[in-house]
Amino acid sequence: MKGDLWKAAIVLVFLALMLPAVGVGFESAETQETIEDEPIELEYDEAVEVENADIATDDPVTVLDADGEELQEGEDYEWHEGNITALEPDLDGEQATITYETATHTDETLAISQVLGVFDGWIAIIFLFVIVAAVLSMAFGSGFGGR
């Protein structure tokens, strides 16, 4: 009986450390896809949302004007979180195409992430239990250090 508290504490610490790690692993499991040559109309000093803005990454993009000339990020446009903003007034109303990256999760990955997310709130309680158990064990003896 004396060693049972320590066994339980070890299992609780293991669970407290592993569940978040597994949850993070599932949350970061993404499928990358390249959206090529999506047509857009640029607007000067106005953010234009691409079709898949909700899953677009901030990775570098390729923007081509109507003549097929590549526009330069920072000079001709800004790209941020699925939105493109023309920085030059002469690009206002310009037809262009954009190639960008998206990151999505499969339904299975999202479901597992949600299940593991339920345990996130319990981690603090598990650690608190382990600390209280260790203090009680030291105060009243557990057989861990031998007597």
Say how far apart CA 66 and CA 143 lie, in whole Å.
79
Per-residue pLDDT 10s for the chain (147 aa) are 455 666 766 776 676 666 666 555 555 667 788 999 999 999 999 999 999 998 899 899 999 999 999 999 999 999 998 999 999 999 999 999 999 999 887 777 767 767 766 666 676 677 777 777 777 776 776 555 544
- Counting Cα atoms < 13 Å in the Cβ hemisphere of 49 gives 5
Burial (Cβ within 10 Å: 0-12, 13-18, ≥19) of residue 61: buried
Report if pTM > 0.75. no
Contact 28, 57 (CB under 8 A): no
Q: Which positions ≥6 away from 55 have C-beta within 8 Å?
A: 82, 102, 103, 104
